[in-house]
Chains A and B, each alone.
Chain A
Amino acid sequence: MSNTVLSLRGVTKRFGGLVAVNAMDFDVTEHQVMGLIGPNGSGKSTTLNLISGALKVSGGEISLRGTPITALPAEQINRRGIARTFQLVRLLPSMSVLENVVAGAVFGHKRRWGQDARRHAETLLARVGLEGKGHLRVGQLTYIDTKRVELARVLASDPKLLLLDEWLAGLNPSELQIGITLIKSLRDEGRTIILVEHVMDAIRSLCDTCVVMASGTKIAQGTPQQVLSDPDVIRAYLGDDDV
């Protein structure tokens, strides 16, 4: 029995005439942290949106633990165990911090309700470093704390796979260290994660494996050291003239 969590086979997305994602193939195995990297507009976020069901694929198949999830609506995909954060943090403005996390615990993969859900949410808030801040309104939070709340929310349903869409973007250098440490601790717990990321330090220290995309196509795959020294990857990032 293989320990593959997620696999993409020939996944393609077209917007009108534009091919945003072209025949993507990759597998994510259990306890693995996979970096999905590439220049702006290379199709990373689109790939994440296809996996999470925010967009419908134009072709190919996505499966979770061997079961196809390609045609499922987003809420079904979440219930089967894929939870995501958003490139621009999305919190629920009318609710408290604690309720924001409870929101992730009630309807998702592992379902909790009532006191059970609240206790679980409190544990997770402590887990991401927000102990004692559950009663605050989300408008009162600092930027990194809003990111922490979102992370706690996606953890709340005990997902089989976490999708973090540029979770470290926009943090200042000291916050970045805190953020990297936090995600490292998730990796140490044995969680399976796909990171869409631009921050190279984070990619080097967090990812077990990387998939590099350029113009919608996978151009390299391997450990961070391998892919970051690959001439194709350097060309994709810097353009032909600089090589």
Chain B
Amino acid sequence: MDILITGLLLGGTYALIAMGLNLQYGVARIMNLANGEMLVAGGFAAFWMYTAGQISPFLTIFLLAPLTFVLNWLIYRIMLQPLVKRAKSRGQLETDSILATFGLSFVMVGLMLSVFGGDYFNYSYLARPIVIVGDTFALNRVAAFLAAVVICGALYLWLNHSRAGLSIRAIAVAPDSARLVGINVTHLAALAFGLGGAVTAVGGALLSTYLTLDASTGVIFTLKALIIVIMGGVGDVRGTIIAALLLGIVETLVASLLDPGLTLAAAYTLFILILLFRPQGLCGKKPT
């Protein structure tokens, strides 16, 4: 029970991060391998605001979200849109965007290393115990989970009920038809990319309240987010959430029963099983 709840708490934040990546991959069609670095940058911002100004991470995110939205929107407009335009095929865009976002991720790691150094960073915020169904948990984990739930819920409602959200989902399902019914695909792709980046950075700020990060851990989170997106199905919000919770639980299980050093191995095992048996994702339909 203890493990299950810890896993769920972790999975909640994972869901947020993976939602960010899913917006970028599902809508903007960019497999953003610098996603983890955006997360670490969000964590850095929260850390810096807290240690320098005693500002709560839960306030920082309100500043962080618009800033990272603009940053990611610019990244899409300046770096990625030219690639989309020059690509002759889906495969070429895939290769180009993988290489470009790898480049971006290393540049970001390099910059963070020179600004903050290579040390681990963490801070103590809301590190008080809280009792849930008889077991004790750290309050920061619970608070981060609740914030993730609120943001995920807001995003879900926005995607399903607002005009822009519906258009974004239309692009994810059928980009060519979306263009035909008058949806400005380029504009919305940039919007989705920016939004995805902002969501990821906020996820990073939430994670930093209870996980220790350093400048080069981004890639691990990129991997986890990718695995979640693939497990849940590209462009599938519900699938992403289920996959994230599942990964959170499996990781916690492995860490507490086997060895904390094997969490990525556990994520990978899940990934291999999905690739072998359900490459279309947990909830996805079989491609025809």
Contact = CB atoms under 8 A, between A and B. Distances in A.
Verify that A and B bind, or say they do not: yes
Interface of A: 15-16
Contacts of A16: 285, 288
A81 B288 CA distance: 25
3 contacts: A15-B288, A16-B285, A16-B288
Nearest to A15: B288
Contacts, number: 3
Interface of B is mostly: loop
A16 B288 CA distance: 8
Interface string B267-288: 0000000000000000001001
A16 B285 CA distance: 9
A117 B134 CA distance: 77
Nearest to B286: A16
A15 B287 CA distance: 9
For the complex of A and B, 3 pairs with smallest distance between CB atoms: A15-B288, A16-B288, A16-B285
A15 B286 CA distance: 10
A16 B287 CA distance: 10
A150 B288 CA distance: 26
Contacts of B285: 16
Contacts of A15: 288
Interface in B203-262: none
A15 B285 CA distance: 11
A16 B286 CA distance: 9
Nearest to B285: A16
B226 to A, nearest CB: 28
Interface in B89-109: none
Nearest to A93: B88
A77 B288 CA distance: 20
Nearest to B288: A15
Nearest to B88: A93
Contacts of B288: 15-16
A26 to B, nearest CB: 24
A86 to B, nearest CB: 15
A53 to B, nearest CB: 15
Nearest to A58: B288
A105 to B, nearest CB: 25
Nearest to A14: B288
Nearest to A16: B288
Nearest to B89: A93
A236 to B, nearest CB: 25
A89 to B, nearest CB: 15
Nearest to A55: B288
A58 B251 CA distance: 40
A42 to B, nearest CB: 18
Nearest to A18: B288
A15 B288 CA distance: 6
B169 to A, nearest CB: 19
Nearest to A20: B288
A207 to B, nearest CB: 30
A3 B288 CA distance: 34
A172 to B, nearest CB: 26
A25 B288 CA distance: 23
A90 B288 CA distance: 21
B87 to A, nearest CB: 14
B92 to A, nearest CB: 11
